Amino acid sequence: MARWLAKSEPDVYGIDDLERDNSTTWEGVRNFTARNFLRAMQVGDLVLFYHSNAVPSGVAGVGRVVSTASPDPTQFDQASDYYDETAPPDGSRWSWVTVGFVERFSRVVALAEIKADPQLEGIEVARKGSRLSVCGVSDAHFDHIVALGRQS
């Protein structure tokens, strides 16, 4: 089983929304590297749910992949913020997955804390200039962040 981190702005769709809805499609990814990570996700993989552009930005909980990648229909929806007029009709450019709710942390593991923690050295989300909305996470980094998030 692989481990992932996926970012969402909490005022758009946050951990509260995922807990309420129980699952959601992870759509609108428009970076090829992040898209390739989505396509690598398998049912059962765990996902750190990261609140971006928040105070504080950080990991708010855990989700689980409940369906693998399929074409993201928002690429064809002219009313969508994720519309891509250059997307080929076969839907092969952009993908989405479905993520289900697993756990809300008792606290957000803030990006500043992640950057300062020597046990999290090398994690992609802390890399200077990293803007990926979806990325892989090592088992050790995943487990450490989960432990931090469960602390009061």
Give me the number of domains the chain comprises. 1
Ranges of residues in the chain whose predicted pLDDT is under 70? none
- State pTM to two decimals: 0.95
Tokens representing 107 are 């606290």
In angstroms, rounded to a whole number, what is the distance separating the alpha carbons of residues 11 and 56? Answer: 13
SS3 5: strand
Q: At CA 147, angle to CA 132 and CA 123, rounded to 5? A: 25
What CATH number did the domain enclosing 14 receive? 3.10.590.10
Domain ranges, residue 92:
3-150
pLDDT at 130: 84
pLDDT at 1: 84
pLDDT at 56: 95
pLDDT at 68: 97
CB-based burial of residue 82 (10 Å sphere; 0-12 exposed, 13-18 middle, 19+ buried)? middle
pLDDT at 102: 98
In angstroms, rounded to a whole number, what is the distance separating the alpha carbons of residues 150 and 58? Answer: 14
